[in-house]
Amino acid sequence: MSIRKPVVLRDVTVFQKKYQVGQGTYGSVFVGADKVTGGIVALKRINTEQEENGFPITALREVKILKALNHENVVKLKEIVTSKEQNEIPKNVFMVFEYHEYDLTGILETSEIRFTQDHIKSWTMQLLKGVNYMHINQIIHRDLKASNLLISRKGELRIADWGLARSWNPTMKNLTNGVVTLWYRPIELLLGCKRYSPKIDMWSVGCIVAEMFRRSGLLKGHNDASQLSLIFDTCGQPTPESWPNINEMCPLWRNHTPRTDEPIKPNRLKHVLKERLPYPSWMTPNAISLISNLLTLNPGKRWSALEAINADYFYDEPIVKRADELNMKFGVDSIHELGARKKHEQRRMQANGFKK
């Protein structure tokens, strides 16, 4: 059954498309300007030609969820516009979002941008508030990562790219296992769990917070096996005492259970979190405690967003600041993951003597 174009939707030509800033779950993201007001927006293109039913289910789910959510740390969907075609089904549909000058990956990977522990603390709190709101409303995001966190020139953080998000309740038994980008994927998903909870998002949050301190990913595997190995080497291996129901919850654990003559790998996370830091003094004992409680192997013991919001870390000096109290003079007007990666590639080519 095809979705037909409602007549109330505006034509995409009301916006002047400027340049691409990202790649979403199912389409490219562009900066656009309203031709009448001059207002800047982000346009996420959804290609309906590739879909049998005319519209990707992930896009439908994202629209439905974003219509239901209203929070200062969740990206706002302003409207939907289409490209007008001769046939009844538009070739392209665009989701129109509020525009934000940065995403977190762009900031972390741009060496010219200097930020402080105030920024890390404020963005961590804003992220947790958005995630807590989402979980209270029984939505799981399933793809939290640095590039999906937008940041405005006013220091406001918004959770974006809801293409893998879905509603959730505790009775659900057979959820999709292949979700969450690899570096941010929790151990239970890597071990084949299909009956998971909002705690999968909390593992991702722990990885993001650690990444802000390091300006680089914490657990950078290249496939499921290497990701699991990194987790075991960093966070230790589960035991019957630390995770009693792991066998029922995670069908693949039997493939990774240590032999009786093998020593159990210890939790080295506190040590690892102190390594390779641009500013070691920022990684306080309470910061380590927060990240450790988010990167707890057993999801039943892993902190919820509400528990994390109340962490002592936010009461360390400097105390957590509001977005409007942050110094956002970065010297770079805007940068997103795509732009940061292109800059790195250009520098790499120049270093190799391929100057254009």
**Contact between 110 and 147 (Cβ < 8 Å):** no
The arithmetic mean of pLDDT across residues 124-141, rounded, is 98
pLDDT given at position 1: 54
Q: Which CATH architecture has domain 102-325?
A: Orthogonal Bundle (1.10)
Lowest mean pLDDT among 28-32, 134-138, 224-228: 28-32
List, for residues 164-180, the tens digit of each pLDDT value: 999 999 999 999 999 99
The arithmetic mean of pLDDT across residues 39-52, rounded, is 82
Mean pLDDT of the chain: 92
Lowest mean pLDDT among 81-85, 322-326, 335-339: 81-85
pLDDT given at position 50: 64
Q: How confident is the model at residue 151 (pLDDT cuts 50, 70, 90)?
A: very high
pLDDT given at position 139: 98
**How far is Cα 54 from Cα 110, in angstroms, rounded to an integer?**
39
Q: ∠ CA 246-211-109 to the nearest 5 degrees?
A: 140
- Catalytic annotation on 143? yes
Q: How confident is the model at residue 277 (pLDDT cuts 50, 70, 90)?
A: very high
Q: β-strand 77-82 against 92-98: which pairing, if any? A: antiparallel
pLDDT given at position 4: 56
How much is the pTM?
Answer: 0.93
The arithmetic mean of pLDDT across residues 27-49, rounded, is 89
Q: Which helix (H) or strand (E) holds 98?
A: strand 92-98
CATH topology of domain 15-98: Phosphorylase Kinase; domain 1 (3.30.200)
The arithmetic mean of pLDDT across residues 52-58, rounded, is 70
Q: How confident is the model at residue 52 (pLDDT cuts 50, 70, 90)?
A: low
In the predicted structure, residue 6 carries a pLDDT above the cut 60 = no
In the predicted structure, residue 105 carries a pLDDT above the cut 60 = yes
In the predicted structure, residue 298 carries a pLDDT above the cut 80 = yes
Q: What is the residue-wise DSSP string for 36-98?
A: TT--EEEEEEEE-TT-TTSS-HHHHHHHHHHHH---TTB--EEEEEE---SSSS-SEEEEEEE
The domain locations on the chain are 15-98, 102-325
Q: Which residue among the candidates 103, 143, 161, 201 is catalytic per the annotation?
A: 143
In the predicted structure, residue 268 carries a pLDDT above the cut 50 = yes
Torsion angles phi and psi, residue 34, rounded to 5: -65, 125
The arithmetic mean of pLDDT across residues 10-14, rounded, is 89
List, for residues 207-257, the tens digit of each pLDDT value: 999 999 999 999 999 999 999 999 999 999 999 999 999 999 999 999 999
**How far is Cα 143 from Cα 322, in angstroms, rounded to an integer?**
25
**Contact between 175 and 200 (Cβ < 8 Å):** no
Q: How confident is the model at residue 356 (pLDDT cuts 50, 70, 90)?
A: very low
pLDDT given at position 354: 59
**Contact between 270 and 292 (Cβ < 8 Å):** yes
